[in-house]
Amino acid sequence: MASLQIIGIPQSNFTRIARMAALEKGVPYDFVVAPPHSPDVKAIHPAGKVPVMRHGDVELFESRAISHYIDDHFPGPALTPRNPAGDSQVEQWISYHNSIIDPVLIRKYALAGYVFPKTPDKKPDRAVIDEVQPALKREVEVLEQATASGHLVGGRFTLADIYMTVTLATARRLPELGALIKESPNLSRYIDSHTARESFKATMPPPPPAKN
């Protein structure tokens, strides 16, 4: 049988999501480290984004397509409820993550505010960080209610939880969001529970190199 390859970088949240899906299913895979726009990636993704996947003659891009393929193609614990209502709810939360949670928490707050600020001295961009605070508060309130059961869908761990856990665990290291989550008992328990999973720990990206 052809081996499954997941291609990307360990620092990419969406690459990590695909890798966690494989680990949760118990599917062996080869992790090929290749940055965005590299030849290995551009050969599969027309925009050169990670992750991409290769399994024999099957090549896929975008984390949702890859995770869907892994869940449906291989044996192991199902990562969706396997009923119309439950599967649609998983898709609902993945769509909400991709269209709202990731853009607010990662693209604007974490990346534009802290990681790649456009300030002259490259210090955190307080204007961006302050502007996004109402949106952060709103999304924490949404997720505090949605995670009351410990899971987003059907009282069990699904792909929706993989998406949300990776993003929340990344962004809560920053002070403003960390404080909001600390004040949200359901969401705090949710993140702590799912970051204790072996699939999360096994895909932890390496620490950044020390600055001289």
Q: What is the CATH number of domain 4-73?
A: 3.40.30.10
Strand partners, 32: 7
Count of beta carbons in the 10 Å neighbourhood of residue 141: 13
pLDDT tens digits for range 6-31: 999 999 999 999 999 999 999 999 99
pLDDT tens digits for range 57-88: 999 999 999 999 999 999 999 999 999 999 99
pLDDT value for 209: 67
pLDDT value for 6: 98
Per-domain residue ranges of the chain? 4-73, 84-200
pLDDT tens digits for range 111-136: 999 999 999 999 999 999 999 999 99
pLDDT tens digits for range 148-206: 999 999 999 999 999 999 999 999 999 999 999 999 999 999 999 999 999 999 999 98
CA–CA separation, 41 and 32 (whole Å) = 10
pLDDT tens digits for range 26-57: 999 999 999 999 999 999 999 999 999 999 99
Residue 17 phi, psi (nearest 5): -60, -45
pTM of the model: 0.95
17 burial type by CB count under 10 A (0-12 exposed, 13-18 middle, 19+ buried) = buried
Domains 4-73 and 84-200 agree in fold: no
For residue 210, pLDDT beyond 80: no
Q: What is the CATH number of domain 84-200?
A: 1.20.1050.10
